[in-house]
Amino acid sequence: MSKEFDYTKLKHVTSVDQSDREVPYNLRQSGPTKVEMLISTRVRKSPYWHLSMQAGCWRATVYNRIYHPRGYVKPEDGGAMVEYDAIVNHVTMWNVAVERQIRVKGPDAEKFTDYVITRDATKISPMRARYVILCNAYGGVLNDPILLRISKDEFWFSLSDSDIGMYLQGVNADGRFNCTIEEIDACPVQIQGPKSKALMKDLLGDQVDLDNMPFYGLAEVKVGGRSCVISQSGFSGEAGYEIYLRNATLYADDMWNAVLEAGKKHNLMVIAPAHHRRIQAGILSWGQDMDMQHNPYQCNLGYQVSLSGKGEWNKKADYVGKAALEKMGKEIKDGKKPYKLQLVGLELGGKPIDDYAPDFWLISNEGGGDPVGFVTSPWWHPEKKTNIAMGYVPFDGTLNQNGFPKGKVGTKFKVHLPEKYSDTPGSPVDAVVVDIPFKESFNANTREVVKG
């Protein structure tokens, strides 16, 4: 037992209604746990792992069964908010090799991809990408990858944190689709920040016309003499690109060092994925803001099911989860509440939250009482001078102008912050529901307005 905290006193929170989930979120408030992460061979080191260590990485987590760098500037030197300054004012590079690339290739690649995603794969042109979701038969969100269409018969699923590679192979275990499905040795880094285009122009020269590359556009290029696919995309809300290095296990140093060299005059900084900036942009993190027991409607992804934005159903003949999602959508339109909790945006009090939350902090109604919800992604918003967060509160039936569920702006709650961030230890802070995103992004609302 820890000498600093008596973990036997922690209570399981049962007042938050999670009765529609088979495995509820663990809402015990256990706080930071001082343990050393075991680095062993059962978890993979990416091709960029040693390069992240050279760049000063001091902490990591595990994502997609790969060690994932999550901090370069130590707290005593300013911590994550120094990295925030770099991404909003300059340009940054992230090791995101944890985004495993699952390639679907063959005559039925389009047909297979169309079957497993809710969007219409036939409308994605070669050398374009899209943000997509995959759902299970019950309508739960299995993953929300970036889908790259490399050619007519080749797609790459750039995964968030779940075993979709095995799932996709299972879907086609009987060979009904004439295509191969396998993970490939292509690993991305992200180049994010207002100076990202200038850096990429220096890096690529005249290989591609970046001024006319559309958002989610792709291009085949050489970086450091090695074959890469680039995408104008990212996980931050800032201007940015992703560089997918082919044969990354062999050529990681060549590509990485070429970026570092090109970035010198642009004040490039290697940082962890900018979760403070992605929260501002309202970008979800699978496993944190949603999982396979959340349906798209309750986590603000209903537009991925009804793409017209007018309540008209996707006209695709069939896809995994279609029947469950359309049933749910109809119930919502009829004024019913087919699930318990809705993801909302919150502004909240307290001291600046300047690091990752170790728990899903609890939310109570304005008048107090037992918790009714929980925070998933909190952080300090330097420009607004307030804390912001995404979190789940009871679904009250509020719909936006397109008929999709949302939180009712102005609804007040209380958030139970740990002592580190609380103005008055033991007392919750005020919180109010606000619209998401919290900050205008380089490609405002891109994930919602891009059709097809």
Express each pLDDT in 158-169 by its tens digit.
999 989 999 999
For residue 316, the model assigns a pLDDT of 77
395 and 291 fall within a common domain: yes
Q: How confident is the model at residue 377 (pLDDT cuts 50, 70, 90)?
A: very high
Is residue 17 domain-resident? no
65 and 136 fall within a common domain: yes
Do residues 72 and 56 make contact, with C-beta atoms less than 8 angstroms apart?
yes
Final residue belonging to a domain, choices 232, 261, 277? 277
361 and 262 fall within a common domain: no
Token look-up 């920040």 returns 193
269 and 287 fall within a common domain: no
Is residue 135 domain-resident? yes
Backbone angles phi, psi at 11, to 5 degrees: -110, 140
Is residue 28 domain-resident? no
264 and 284 fall within a common domain: no
193 and 304 fall within a common domain: no
- pLDDT > 50? residue 449: no
259 and 121 fall within a common domain: yes
Express each pLDDT in 72-126 by its tens digit.
999 999 999 999 999 999 999 999 999 999 999 999 999 999 999 999 999 999 9
Is residue 8 domain-resident? no
For residue 244, the model assigns a pLDDT of 98
Close Cβ partners of 92 (under 8 Å, ≥ 6 residues apart): 83, 86, 190, 191, 192, 193, 268, 269, 270, 271, 274
Express each pLDDT in 25-43 by its tens digit.
999 999 988 888 899 999 9
188 and 324 fall within a common domain: no
Kindly calculate the radius of gyration of the chain based on its CA atoms and give it in whole angstroms. 22
Total Cβ atoms within 10 A of residue 336: 10
Close Cβ partners of 298 (under 8 Å, ≥ 6 residues apart): 339, 341, 342, 343, 392, 395, 405
Percent of the chain with pLDDT over 90: 87
311 and 233 fall within a common domain: no
Is residue 96 domain-resident? yes
Helix axes 164-171, 109-116, angle to 10 degrees: 110
251 and 306 fall within a common domain: no
Is residue 29 domain-resident? no
For residue 452, the model assigns a pLDDT of 41
Which residue stretches of 4-127 are H helix?
Answer: 49-54, 80-89, 109-116
300 and 183 fall within a common domain: no
Do residues 302 and 329 make contact, with C-beta atoms less than 8 angstroms apart?
yes
Final residue belonging to a domain, choices 238, 261, 277? 277
Which of 158-162, 379-383, 445-449 is least confident?
445-449
- Stretch 320-330: mean pLDDT: 93
- Stretch 233-252: mean pLDDT: 96
What is the span of the domain harbouring residue 155?
Answer: 37-277
Final residue belonging to a domain, choices 277, 309, 339? 277
Q: What is the CATH number of the domain that holds 365?
A: 3.30.1360.120
Q: How confident is the model at residue 445 (pLDDT cuts 50, 70, 90)?
A: very low
Is residue 30 domain-resident? no
- Stretch 266-277: mean pLDDT: 97
Q: Work out whether the CA dihedral 71, 72, 76, 77 comes out positive or negative.
A: negative
Question: 433 has which bridge partners?
Answer: 346
In the chain, the number of structural domains is 2
The Cα–Cα gap between 59 and 278 comes to: 20
175 and 310 fall within a common domain: no
- pLDDT > 90? residue 58: yes
* Residue-averaged pLDDT of the chain: 93
Is residue 32 domain-resident? no
